[in-house]
């Protein structure tokens, strides 16, 4: 589509990389990116994937990550590299299911047409021929489309367990074998249509399930900002180059720019700055950094560029410790058995006993092996858990879609089930109950006439405090003034002039701290007249309402914070919650585990790296989209926007979903109670089986569709 600018790059190899670009919103962005990127020397072509909000870039192997990200930035887009190898496996499984579904659909339609002729009265040779044709279509189709069920059933049986796929596999295989025998002996009834239709409906459920997972996964990938995956490293000659985080070694010297996160643990060598460790520890107040201080990977450098000597990298960092804790914590979650499988544990033996009883009963009644087997197979087909296989994923997919429209990403179906069961909520403080970014609290002290000047200054700087000022003023519909001579002095601030007046935004000149010690301040000067701006981390705007909503649902809430007690107490007081402060990642994990051992089911809501293990351990977990990568990866739900109300919305939707799922189970069981006696009595012909099966599937899907408004 795009004219690949053929640049003569000599013998360079072309490689491709994927980038998540969350800001792709319109057709204009597509052409801007694709045409703009090919004009960058070293980039051969770029292809935007709008659905996944990602861009695949073919570039010269000599081009490094920062250069590529810079190319995106120059076009006005923020880009984050994606590790595409992680996704391809899962994409493949979704495509396999879709292929199986297509084959089953094709086979089902054709066999059904042939079956209709048989039911409308074809007899003798014609019927036999139609049966043979059906067999010819059904056998390869079942062998191809049934694989997901057969392999899963075999795996379960080999480990001495049973799951939903076991009765499905037995039912399909027995029905096919018997139908083949019927066909060979010119019998009147063949169940090929039933067997293939069963696979079709179940594959539909399976595919819906995988589609939901894929969609959420792509959404989360686009949110991951794994830019901490490397650093600019100074070599002995004083030249700098990009080194991937996996190749960082002790002793290397990293250049860390303002606004960058550290890729490894180390010691500050030069530069005076402040560090934001809130993602790492939950500590809300920036910490001063001066040469000789030790810093951890994941820390955000706030004030001025610093050089850091690496002391530990890769598996030795504090980050890696947290990752290891998370791995262990996640194991308990993987033991969760989904509701459909739990139902199948009761259902499968019951169905098999029933079929056996039918066989034995008719044998005793003197019906002969053939007749008895036919009835037993009819029982199996009628009771095959079509509704179970479709009812649960259909309901969950509809809910996941509704949640996504209101800005909540769901990782998978089991997350919805788990969320509906929780009876306690643990909140992290910094970044979860609060916004996590310092917000100016006294902007109104600035005269209206001077606000445009302040905005002009703030926009010129990339310092987090300046950004906070700029975004707040922009929200007040203020236009920046036309200021000139803008100069940013790292670590000190921005200066400029406007109509002969000198302007400054930055640290207080005499270095004296005017604040009480706990809050951040910066000074805005117009011609030497100072105004002190203070910043604080505000509560999310709807935190009160959200907590009231939780209370109304009968859920207890608790704050577990890594911050100091003095910082956690005011938040706890305003929200009237109990808080535990100074919690290390291990402490949070332990508290959740001990609660869960005593039978509680805990929802963990958190954002930081230090919440990672707790998020992984919680019965369910949620993270805001501003969370650390580790937090977003570990959480079951990720919500966009600044509101805490999403937590309440998600819990309510999950509970509604579970209600519908249970109704669907009720419908499925009710249908069995009516249909099974007919099957036992030997009255179920292939025609009745086909009608009953599609009828019950349609009913459960229609019931699931009622969830479309579940987030309102």
Partner 1 sequence: MNGLAILIPIALGLGLLGLAAFFWSLKNGQFDDPEGDARRIFMEDDEPCD
Binding site for partner 1 (CB under 8 A): 1-3, 5, 26-27, 30-31, 35, 39, 48-52, 95, 98-99, 102-103, 106, 109-110, 113, 126, 129, 133, 137
Q: Which is nearer to partner 1, 49 or 67 (CB)?
A: 49
8 Å CB contact between 456 and 470: no
Which residue lies nearer to partner 1 by CB, 91 or 321?
A: 91
DSSP element (H, E) containing 342: helix 339-364
| DSSP codes of every residue in 388-432 | HHHHHHHHHHHHHHHHHHTTEEE--HHHHHHHHH--EEEE-IIII
What are the residues facing 582 on neighbouring strands? none
Q: State the minimum distance, in angstroms, from the CB of residue 399 to partner 1.
A: 22
d(CA 465, CA 241): 29
In the complex, minimum distance from the CB of residue 110 to partner 1, in angstroms, rounded to a whole number: 6
Nearer to partner 1, 96 or 642 (CB): 96
Residue with Cβ nearer partner 1 (24 or 343): 24
* Residue 214 DSSP SS3: helix
Alpha-carbon gap, residue 143 to 130, rounded angstroms? 20
Supply the minimum distance, in Å, between the C-beta of residue 98 and partner 1.
7
* Least CB distance to partner 1 at residue 220 (A): 18
Spell out the residues 6+ positions from residue 710 whose beta carbon is closer than 8 angstroms to its own.
398, 399, 402, 652, 653, 656, 657
Tell me whether residue 13 is one of the annotated catalytic residues.
Answer: no
Cβ(427)–Cβ(533) below 8 Å: no
CA 494 to CA 505: how far, in whole Å? 5
Supply the minimum distance, in Å, between the C-beta of residue 392 and partner 1: 25
Among the listed residues 341, 428, 537, 636, the single catalytic one is: 428
Q: Are 427 and 605 in contact (CB under 8 A)?
A: yes
Q: Enumerate the H helices of 75-226 as residue ranges.
A: 84-119, 124-145, 147-158, 165-184, 192-223
DSSP 259: T
Residue 71 vs 559, nearer CB to partner 1: 71
- With beta carbons less than 8 A apart as the criterion, state whether 544 and 437 touch: no
Q: Which is nearer to partner 1, 26 or 698 (CB)?
A: 26
- Nearer Cβ to partner 1 (82/630): 82
By beta-carbon proximity to partner 1, the closer residue of 124 and 500 is 124
Instruction: Compute CA distances 371 → 15, 168, 562, 678, 681, whole Å.
Output: 65, 22, 70, 15, 11
State in angstroms the smallest separation of the CB of 198 from partner 1. Answer: 19
- In this structure, the strands spanning 253-256 and 306-312 are antiparallel
The answer to whether 183 touches 114, Cβ cutoff 8 Å, is: no
CB of 231 vs partner 1, minimal distance in Å: 33
Residue number with CB closer to partner 1 (3 or 11): 3
Identity of the residue, 109 or 640, whose beta carbon is nearer to partner 1 in the bound complex: 109
Nearest CA among 98, 657, 699 for reference residue 393: 657
Continuous H helices in 476-611: 543-552, 565-575, 585-597
Give the Cα separation of 433 and 569 in Å (integer): 13
Closer residue to partner 1, CB minimum distance, 54 or 626: 54
* Nearest approach, Cβ of residue 28 and partner 1 (Å): 8
Sign of CA dihedral 78, 84, 89, 95: positive
Q: How many CB atoms lie within 10 A of CB 614?
A: 32
Taking the complex as a whole, the smallest distance from the CB of residue 368 to partner 1 amounts, in Å, to: 33
Q: Residue 143: how many CB atoms within 10 A of its CB?
A: 12
Residues in the chain: 712
**228 near 243, Cβ under 8 Å?**
no
Minimum distance, C-beta of residue 264 to partner 1, in the bound complex (Å) = 36
Distances (CA, A) of 22 to 88, 248, 455: 20, 28, 26
Distance CA 604, CA 332 (A): 14
Smallest gap from residue 99 Cβ to partner 1 (A): 7
Within 576-617, residue ranges assigned H as helices are 585-597, 612-617
Number of other residues whose CB lies within 10 A of the CB of residue 199: 29
In degrees, to the nearest 5, what angle opens at C-alpha 482 toward C-alphas 478 and 483?
Answer: 110
Catalytic residues: 428
């Amino acid at each position: 589509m795009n004219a690949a600018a053929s640049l003569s790059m000599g013998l360079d190899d072309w490689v491709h990389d994927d980038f998540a670009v969350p800001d792709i919103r319109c057709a204009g962005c597509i052409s801007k990116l694709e045409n703009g990127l090919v004009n960058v020397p070293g980039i051969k072509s770029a292809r935007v994937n709008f659905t996944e909000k990602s861009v695949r870039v073919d570039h010269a192997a000599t081009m490094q990550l920062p250069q590529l990200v810079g190319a995106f930035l120059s076009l006005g887009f923020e880009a984050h590299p994606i590790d595409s190898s992680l996704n391809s496996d899962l994409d493949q499984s979704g495509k396999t299911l879709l292929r199986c579904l297509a084959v089953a659909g094709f086979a089902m339609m054709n066999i059904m047409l042939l079956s209709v002729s048989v039911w409308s009265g074809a007899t003798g040779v014609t019927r036999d021929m139609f049966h043979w044709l059906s067999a010819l279509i059904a056998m390869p189709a079942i062998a191809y489309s049934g694989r997901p069920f057969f392999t899963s059933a075999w795996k379960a049986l080999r480990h001495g367990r049973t799951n939903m796929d076991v009765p499905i596999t037995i039912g399909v295989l027995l029905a096919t074998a018997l139908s083949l025998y019927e066909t060979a002996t010119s019998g009147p009834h063949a169940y090929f249509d039933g067997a293939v239709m069963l696979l079709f409906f179940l594959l539909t459920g399976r595919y819906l399930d995988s589609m939901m997972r894929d969609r959420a996964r792509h959404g989360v990938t686009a949110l991951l900002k794994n830019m901490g995956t490397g650093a600019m490293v100074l070599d002995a000659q004083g030249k700098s180059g990009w080194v991937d985080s996996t190749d960082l070694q002790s002793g290397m010297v990293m250049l860390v720019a303002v606004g960058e996160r550290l890729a490894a643990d180390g010691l500050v060598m030069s530069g005076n700055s402040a560090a934001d460790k809130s993602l790492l520890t939950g500590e809300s107040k920036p910490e001063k950094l001066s040469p000789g201080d030790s810093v951890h990977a994941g820390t955000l450098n706030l004030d001025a560029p610093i050089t850091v000597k690496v002391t530990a990298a890769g598996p030795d960092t504090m980050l890696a410790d947290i990752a290891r804790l998370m791995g262990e914590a996640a194991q308990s979650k993987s033991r969760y058995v989904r509701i459909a499988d739990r139902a199948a544990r009761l259902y499968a033996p019951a169905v098999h006993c029933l079929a056996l009883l039918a066989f034995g009963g008719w044998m005793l009644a003197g019906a002969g092996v053939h007749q008895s087997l036919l009835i037993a197979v009819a029982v199996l087909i009628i009771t095959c858990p079509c509704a179970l296989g479709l009812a649960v994923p259909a309901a969950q997919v509809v809910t996941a879609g509704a949640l996504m429209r209101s800005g909540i990403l769901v990782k998978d179906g089991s997350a919805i089930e788990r969320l509906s069961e929780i009876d306690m909520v643990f909140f992290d403080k910094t970044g979860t109950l609060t916004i996590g970014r310092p917000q100016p609290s006294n902007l109104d002290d600035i005269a209206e006439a001077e606000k445009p000047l302040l905005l002009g200054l703030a926009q010129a700087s990339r310092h987090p405090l300046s950004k906070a000022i700029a975004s707040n003023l922009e929200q007040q519909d203020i236009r920046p003034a036309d200021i000139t001579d803008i100069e940013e002095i790292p670590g000190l601030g921005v200066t400029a002039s406007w109509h002969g007046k000198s302007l400054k935004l930055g640290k207080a000149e005499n270095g004296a701290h005017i604040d009480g010690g706990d809050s951040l301040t910066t000074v805005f000067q117009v011609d030497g007249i100072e105004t002190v701006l203070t910043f604080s981390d505000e509560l999310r705007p709807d935190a009160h309402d959200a907590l009231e909503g939780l209370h109304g649902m009968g859920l207890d809430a608790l704050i577990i914070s890594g911050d100091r007690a003095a910082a956690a107490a005011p938040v706890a007081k305003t929200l009237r919650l109990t808080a535990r402060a100074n919690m290390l990642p291990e402490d949070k994990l332990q508290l959740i585990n001990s609660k869960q051992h005593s039978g509680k089911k805990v929802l963990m809501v958190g954002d930081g790296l230090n919440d990672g293990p707790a998020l992984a351990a919680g019965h369910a977990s949620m993270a805001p989209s501003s969370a650390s990568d580790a937090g977003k990866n570990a959480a079951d739900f990720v919500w966009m926007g600044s509101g805490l109300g999403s937590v309440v919305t998600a819990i309510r939707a999950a509970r509604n979903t579970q209600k519908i799922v249970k109704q669907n189970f009720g419908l499925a069981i009710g249908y069995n109670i009516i249909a099974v006696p007919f099957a036992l009595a030997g009255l179920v012909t292939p025609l009745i089986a086909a009608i009953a099966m599609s009828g019950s599937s349609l009913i459960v899907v229609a019931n699931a569709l009622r969830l479309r408004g579940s987030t309102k």
